[in-house]
Structure 1
Amino acid sequence: MLSHITAKLLIVDDLPENLLALAALIQGDDREVYQAQSADEALSLLLEHEFGLAILDVQMPGMNGFELAELMRGMEKTRNIPIVFVSAAGREMNYAFKGYESGAVDFLHKPLEPLAVKSKVSVFVDLFRQRKALDRQLQALEHSRQEQELLLNQLQLARGELERAVRMRDDFMSIVSHEVRTPLNGLILETQLRRMHLARGNLAAFSEDKLKAMVERDERQINSLIRLVEDMLDVSRIRTGKLSIRPRTFDLGQLVRGLVENFTAQANAVDTFIELQRCDALQGEWDEFRIEQVVANLLSNALRYGNRKPVQVRVFEEDAMACVQVQDQGIGIDVQNQQRIFQQFERVAAQQASGGLGLGLYISEQIILAHGGRIRVDSQVGTGSTFTVQLPLSVLPHACDQPRATSA
């Protein structure tokens, strides 16, 4: 490592011949020698370069060597540079003592002894190069430590994400098994009951009215299974960027009105009703099937968590956006959970007992985002929630009959 380090040396003397002679004496492959004929010129070089040694002539016109040394000791960049004074004055002038007081590490008298000068300069050159090598090693170690710390932090984050993913997977599998088992158990029980009636020859159990009720129960259970499978497929499509959007022109108000009518039986089942407070006719170019999926999810949630109180629905235009609002008067959602509910597999504690995979709002948001719109919730615990879907009324830049894949 030392072979790549060069020491810079500064010699200051007002006589050019002295500079040339000293430079020739201390020159070497492991060092660069810079020359200055005045203190001002030396200060410029000191501010520009990092020197391993400064050899200063004491007696110079203007600022002498002692004064230059005091300036060097007062500056952060130069205060640690070793200083060697050179003087032709006699020893009786006591310059050496003053030089050491100024912070010098050595004092040389002219005429100089070549071997002594070479030896002393080589010592300072070696010290400088070793110090620089050590600094580089320390910097490399610090850089390595920082990289290891960063890597450790990344590993810890990755571990946390992995643990969270494992927990989500386990929770999801538990939820799926429970949600799938419920309609399956109903179908299995119905099948066993019919088999028992047939085995006993009890054909009266299959009258027209009873068969109709059986078929309706079967349809409900099968539709529940279909919804579960479709939700999981939609999540897979969103993750792979293959959720297709097939826009065509239709009336959003008419779509919502039809959905409200279709949810009448479901509302009656929980002793409440859905009130269509406002339903403007809004023509737009959207994927009718996907928008119906979103609104149906909001209506279903409103009835599920609405505390058996009426649900209000509004369709209107605002700021060049088609808006659908579904408002319930149920349990509400606290501020901390209002963003979580739009994440996949997320269900707040108050909703967990109500079933579901925790995918409906996640899928709904991705569908709305794919249309260039947005969905938001305004809610307070105990007073209910209002979900607002906003869709752009401008025509989408895609042909109506062409599917459009979107990414999550």
Structure 2
Amino acid sequence: MNPVKLLIVDDLRENLVALEALIRQEDRQIYKAFSGDEALALLLEHDFALAILDVQMPGMNGLDLAAMMRGTEKTRRIPIVFVSAGAQELNYAFKGYETGAVDFLYKPLDPHAVRSKVNVFVEIYRQRQQQEMLLAELRDTQAELQRSIEMRDDFVSMVSHELRTPLNTLYLQTQLRRRMASGVTLTPAQMTAMVERDEQQIRNMVRLIDDMLDVSRLRKGTLAIQPAAADLAVLVKRVIESYADQGANVGCPMEYSGPDTLPGIWDEFRIEQVVANLLTNAIRYGGGKPVKVTVEASGQEATVSVRDQGIGIAPQDQARIFEQFERAVGKQVAPGLGLGLFITRQIVEAHGGTISVESSAGEGSTFIVRLPRRTPSAPLS
């Protein structure tokens, strides 16, 4: 707990020393000023819980100082207690309350009264600090809640949009089959193309559902990894092969560079998911140019990098693309929920690894995944 700051002002040193001795405690910092000018300098520099001012001082007296405090935004809420000579200065009491005093102490000072009153103001100050902290936390919570509501609405909207596309395609295919049932014939090539379109749309929906399930698991802390013996090079080449036709269809042939074998300890299913997400993005943003996939080993670390020659990612976007529902790269917004890279990062970090991106707008991107080859000591479970 931070110490509470108190200000005492009197032109007589002995008065300040005596007052300080009465109110000093370990959780308080006492600041002394011998004039109104010194007090103003301290007031502008520090946040005080209480100011105790002597009424009669040469130059700027306590009443003048109080009036200036009430006229300044930083100091107008600081409680002011005047020290007065009692009955001899009754007129000062009326003026003091007019200038904003909350209480008076009368000379000779009663030690018990002084300590009691200061304790009250210190406690009020601490309660106000706690209230301000609680209000700040409440505002943060409200802002986070509002963001969650907006994210939920965006999520529902995106899911609806992303499901509508494959479902519309499948619906059209169904209509085509209805025509076939009525006697319309198709060539083998047309039949093959129709089946391929069906398969692609079904894969899109399965991928969409898998992404949503993974995010749900991540939020619940139940996305488990199951490390076991696996071959990273063989795994990567297998994923490349499965995406080769999709890449070639949009002008993004895939090139593999690396060893024929690279054994280690990983969750094979999850690492396949990582590579698949990176290849999907490379095809999506690759601008119809070749994609290069590289696997390397250095000591107890393995690296997978996926390089495309597409639109690239501006520096200000390179951190946020790993967050949930972030899809925009520059002015382009691609299909999808914006979950792929978020899930990819979680999987990589669960293995004790890292993922980064090197890119410039218009010059392509390289995503680099670094994975330890040993079982992580604390896998996500």
TM over 0.5: yes
> What corresponds to 2:89 in structure 1?
none
For the pair 1:163 / 2:146, whether they are aligned, the reply is yes
Deviations along 1:338-364, one digit per CA (max 9) or x if unpaired, are 111111111225375321111001111
Counterpart code for 2:372: P
Alpha-carbon distance in structure 2 between the residues aligned to 1:167 and 1:211: 43
Do the aligned partners of residues 349 and 281 (structure 1) sit closer, same or farther apart at CA in structure 2, a change above 3 Å counting?
closer
Name which of 125, 134, 148 aligns with 1:151.
Answer: 134
Specify every segment of 5 or more residues in structure 1 that has no aligned partner in the other structure, as ranges: 1-41, 52-72, 81-104, 107-122, 399-403
Alpha-carbon distance in structure 1 between the residues aligned to 2:363 and 2:190: 41
Per the TM alignment, residue 156 of structure 1 is displaced from its structure 2 partner at its CA by 1.6
For the pair 1:335 / 2:318, whether they are aligned, the reply is no
Alpha-carbon distance in structure 2 between the residues aligned to 1:151 and 1:157: 10
Name which of 174, 181, 196 aligns with 2:164.
Answer: 181
Does the CA-based 8 Å contact 2:22-2:111 persist in structure 1? Answer: no
> What corresponds to 2:349 in structure 1?
369
Alpha-carbon distance in structure 2 between the residues aligned to 1:313 and 1:390: 14
Alpha-carbon distance in structure 2 between the residues aligned to 1:390 and 1:288: 15
For the pair 1:240 / 2:240, whether they are aligned, the reply is no
> What corresponds to 2:122 in structure 1?
139
> What corresponds to 1:195 in structure 2?
178
| Secondary structure of the corresponding residue to residue 160 of structure 1 | helix
For the pair 1:276 / 2:253, whether they are aligned, the reply is no
> What corresponds to 2:325 in structure 1?
345
For the pair 1:221 / 2:221, whether they are aligned, the reply is no
> What corresponds to 2:82 in structure 1?
none
Per the TM alignment, residue 375 of structure 1 is displaced from its structure 2 partner at its CA by 1.0
For the pair 1:50 / 2:32, whether they are aligned, the reply is no
Counterpart code for 1:143: R
> What corresponds to 1:383 in structure 2?
363
Question: What are the residue-to-residue correspondences of 1:5-154 with 2, within 5 Å?
Answer: 49-50=21-22, 127-154=110-137
Q: Which of 273-282 and 358-367 deviates more?
A: 273-282
Do the aligned partners of residues 349 and 330 (structure 1) sit closer, same or farther apart at CA in structure 2, a change above 3 Å counting?
closer
Deviations along 1:33-92, one digit per CA (max 9) or x if unpaired, are xxxxxxxxx9xx9699429xxxxxxxxxxxxxxxxxxxxx99x9xx98xxxxxxxxxxxx
Does the CA-based 8 Å contact 1:280-1:315 persist in structure 2? Answer: no
Alpha-carbon distance in structure 2 between the residues aligned to 1:369 and 1:349: 23
Per the TM alignment, residue 132 of structure 1 is displaced from its structure 2 partner at its CA by 3.5
Q: Which of 136-145 and 214-223 deviates more?
A: 136-145
| Secondary structure of the corresponding residue to residue 229 of structure 2 | strand
Deviations along 1:75-115, one digit per CA (max 9) or x if unpaired, are x9xx98xxxxxxxxxxxxxxxxxxxxxxxx79xxxxxxxxx
For the pair 1:302 / 2:282, whether they are aligned, the reply is yes
Q: How many residues align?
A: 297
Alpha-carbon distance in structure 1 between the residues aligned to 2:331 and 2:344: 17
Name which of 322, 337, 356 aligns with 1:357.
Answer: 337
Specify every segment of 5 or more residues in structure 2 that has no aligned partner in the other structure, as ranges: 1-13, 24-33, 40-52, 55-84, 87-105
Do the aligned partners of residues 138 and 48 (structure 1) sit closer, same or farther apart at CA in structure 2, a change above 3 Å counting?
closer
Larger Cα Rg: Structure 1 or Structure 2? 1
State the TM-score, normalized to the length of structure 2: 0.69
Deviations along 1:8-37, one digit per CA (max 9) or x if unpaired, are xxxxxxxxxxxxxxxxxxxxxxxxxxxxxx
Counterpart code for 1:201: G
Per the TM alignment, residue 272 of structure 1 is displaced from its structure 2 partner at its CA by 2.8
Does the CA-based 8 Å contact 2:264-2:374 persist in structure 1? Answer: yes
Alpha-carbon distance in structure 1 between the residues aligned to 2:205 and 2:331: 20
Q: Which of 156-165 and 322-331 deviates more?
A: 156-165
Alpha-carbon distance in structure 2 between the residues aligned to 1:228 and 1:48: 69
Counterpart code for 1:287: D
Does the CA-based 8 Å contact 1:279-1:314 persist in structure 2? Answer: no
Alpha-carbon distance in structure 2 between the residues aligned to 1:371 and 1:181: 35
Alpha-carbon distance in structure 1 between the residues aligned to 2:156 and 2:315: 28
| Secondary structure of the corresponding residue to residue 313 of structure 1 | strand
| Secondary structure of the corresponding residue to residue 388 of structure 1 | strand
Counterpart code for 1:50: L
Alpha-carbon distance in structure 2 between the residues aligned to 1:326 and 1:196: 44
Counterpart code for 1:365: R
Alpha-carbon distance in structure 1 between the residues aligned to 2:20 and 2:244: 85
Does the CA-based 8 Å contact 1:305-1:351 persist in structure 2? Answer: no
Per the TM alignment, residue 377 of structure 1 is displaced from its structure 2 partner at its CA by 1.0
| Secondary structure of the corresponding residue to residue 383 of structure 1 | coil
> What corresponds to 2:298 in structure 1?
318
Deviations along 1:260-300, one digit per CA (max 9) or x if unpaired, are 22222112111231121333521001111110110011011
Does the CA-based 8 Å contact 1:373-1:389 persist in structure 2? Answer: yes
Name which of 246, 263, 267 aligns with 1:287.
Answer: 267
Per the TM alignment, residue 214 of structure 1 is displaced from its structure 2 partner at its CA by 2.5
Does the CA-based 8 Å contact 2:307-2:365 persist in structure 1? Answer: yes
State the TM-score, normalized to the length of structure 1: 0.65
Name which of 212, 233, 239 aligns with 1:253.
Answer: 233
Q: Alpha carbon RMSD of aligned pairs, Å?
A: 3.3
